[in-house]
Amino acid sequence: MRITCPLCGERDRREFNVKGAALDRPGEGADQDAWHSYVNLRQNPAGVLAELWYHEMGCGSWLTVTRNTVTHEVLKVELASETTLGGAA
């Protein structure tokens, strides 16, 4: 699988570490149920999903990679700092 880093260009997936689904973190003052859902209740969809990836062997950027978890087709790659999180885009 190849991932196109917005800063470094196309790279092999082995340069990156996947950290899981890109989810909206509960806001300040969120109740215990919101945090419980965020930490413990994750879906594992077969299909399009936005994930957080770290470009460990490259520029050190956090990326939001939107890909199909069945085919591994990469649909979109953005810097995480410029992305609104919350699942598939």
Which pLDDT tens digit goes with each residue over 7-44? 999 999 999 999 888 878 889 999 999 999 888 887 77
**Cβ contact 10:2 at 8 Å:** yes
Q: Is residue 87 part of a domain?
A: no
The pLDDT value given to residue 87: 43
pLDDT reading at 85 higher than 80: no
Q: Which amino acid is at 40?
A: N
Domain that residue 20 falls in? 2-82
- Number of domains the chain is built from: 1
* 44 found inside a domain: yes
What pLDDT, on a 0 to 100 scale, did the predictor assign at position 39?
Answer: 85
Does 62 map to a domain? yes
CATH code assigned at 60: 3.30.2270.10
CA triple 70-18-88, angle to 5 deg = 50
